[in-house]
A and B are shown apart, each in its own frame.
Chain A
């Protein structure tokens, strides 16, 4: 993997990049066209839900947050100026909403802990990636995943968010910076700290 050479083209994103189709969809959403709003939700709901779930680690919270995100998107879509892609703009809203929700949650449920069974019930079981894999191997995968989730949850919210946006959603530094409203240099340092902390936590575990 490391030997492969890939070339990344970086350029500024403008309205022309957003695309005529997406711009038209946005205009229709601004005009409160219900069909257009439904289409926008359909196109981005998996991405929004998945990011919410990765940030909050709770199925019901993620569902609720995703709905809140789309309502906020439709309330504020008239302020979208095309300085980023619509997807990145929605990422920004998800991150902000998740951060607010987590602050609220920490204030009220700081002492609450969830059992592993409850956790699996909330998040679902891991998909069986290897058909016919042995029970030992499956158990090992589950335990590893659980360890990693716990380690990710142990990271500060901003570090965890940067890492999730980079590793799971594949956003560029620039897009992460826009989503988190920080400079690209800060993104780099935050990612470096997050990776270092995560390695340390996995080593300790």
Chain B
């Protein structure tokens, strides 16, 4: 049998007390303790402490304790009743409600499809429709939708000095004289829209002129400091003056 020193035994005392030593080691420690008062006293300290802990432990429930069973079971029932699956199952208890719900859902989907189809396939709003006219009347005077008429209070649009419009006029009238009246709307941003020629003669030179002017931008008309959209008639005159040469 192995003979142990006090130091080795002290190291194993806790495991010995807790019944966690292998059998051979346990026998050796047991034998040592039987012959060593110091180690036996140290072991006794473990027993005393264990006894003290058991003394201080909270007392167990009384014999007539009803226990946790009713409370746990009732909470389990409540949890099961309120669970998602139980709720779903209860929804299908009465099939009348299920059919009503399905019919309502199908009706909603069909209505949605019809509305979507109407919105998707309906023709765009026409300018001469009643809705368009109401929108124009409802828009404030001077807005792009409802341009104002030029009067004495409104400063007319002006040609900016960047030369773009002059160049367009030059290009359209370079092969002869040109005199044409144009009707147009000048928006609040100075863009020219709704441009049309007020004459029966609409030759290729007019088309060139219209193309040139439709992309141009003017200084917008102003009512005080605020830009306003206006209807205006624009007379373009392009005249070429040729001098007589001296005959020698």
Residues of A within 8 A of B (CB): 1-3, 5-8, 32, 34, 37-38, 41-42, 45-46, 48-50, 53-54, 57, 63, 66-67, 70-71, 74, 123-127, 141, 144-149, 151-152, 163-164, 166-168, 172-173, 188, 191-192, 195, 198-199, 202
Closest CB in chain B relative to A201 CB, distance in Å: 11
Residues of B contacting A: mostly: helix
Given known A-B contacts A5-B30, A145-B56, A147-B56, A41 and B67 have beta carbons under 8 A apart: yes
Let me know if B68 and A167 touch, CB within 8 A.
Answer: no
Closest residue of B by beta carbon distance from A1: B47
The digit string for B60-79, where 1 denotes a CB below 8 A from any CB of A, is 11000001110111011101
27 A–B contacts, CB within 8 A, in A order: A6-B19, A8-B19, A8-B20, A32-B80, A34-B76, A34-B77, A37-B72, A38-B73, A41-B72, A45-B69, A63-B68, A70-B68, A71-B75, A74-B76, A123-B58, A145-B55, A145-B56, A147-B56, A148-B52, A149-B56, A164-B53, A167-B50, A168-B54, A168-B57, A173-B18, A188-B14, A199-B49
Let me know if A148 and B56 touch, CB within 8 A.
Answer: yes
Let me know if B49 and A195 touch, CB within 8 A.
Answer: yes
Given known A-B contacts A123-B58, A163-B53, A172-B20, A45 and B75 have beta carbons under 8 A apart: no
CB-CB under 8 A from A71, the residues of chain B are 72, 75-76, 79
For residue B116, CB closer than 8 A to chain A, the reply is: no
Closest CB in chain B relative to A165 CB, distance in Å: 11
Closest CB in chain B relative to A20 CB, distance in Å: 24
The digit string for B38-60, where 1 denotes a CB below 8 A from any CB of A, is 00100111110110111111111
CB-CB under 8 A from A1, the residues of chain B are 47
Given known A-B contacts A54-B58, A195-B49, A198-B49, A41 and B69 have beta carbons under 8 A apart: yes
For residue B222, CB closer than 8 A to chain A, the reply is: no
Residue A144 contacts which of B26, B52, B57 (CB distance < 8 angstroms)? B52
Complex CA gap A172/B18 in Å reads 8
Chain B interface size band reads 35 or more
Let me know if B76 and A37 touch, CB within 8 A.
Answer: yes
Let me know if B68 and A152 touch, CB within 8 A.
Answer: no
CB-CB under 8 A from B161, the residues of chain A are none
CB-CB under 8 A from B75, the residues of chain A are 67, 71
Let me know if B73 and A37 touch, CB within 8 A.
Answer: yes
Complex CA gap A37/B45 in Å reads 43
- 14 additional A-B residue pairs with CB within 8 Å, beyond A123-B58, A148-B52, A152-B53: A2-B40, A3-B33, A8-B20, A41-B69, A42-B67, A49-B61, A50-B60, A63-B68, A124-B58, A125-B59, A148-B53, A148-B55, A149-B56, A198-B53
Residue A67 contacts which of B19, B33, B68 (CB distance < 8 angstroms)? B68
Closest residue of B by beta carbon distance from A191: B14
Closest residue of B by beta carbon distance from A57: B58
CB-CB under 8 A from A123, the residues of chain B are 58-59
CB-CB under 8 A from B79, the residues of chain A are 71
Q: Kindly identify, within residues 178 to 213 of chain B, every residue whose CB is under 8 Å from any CB belonging to chain A.
A: none
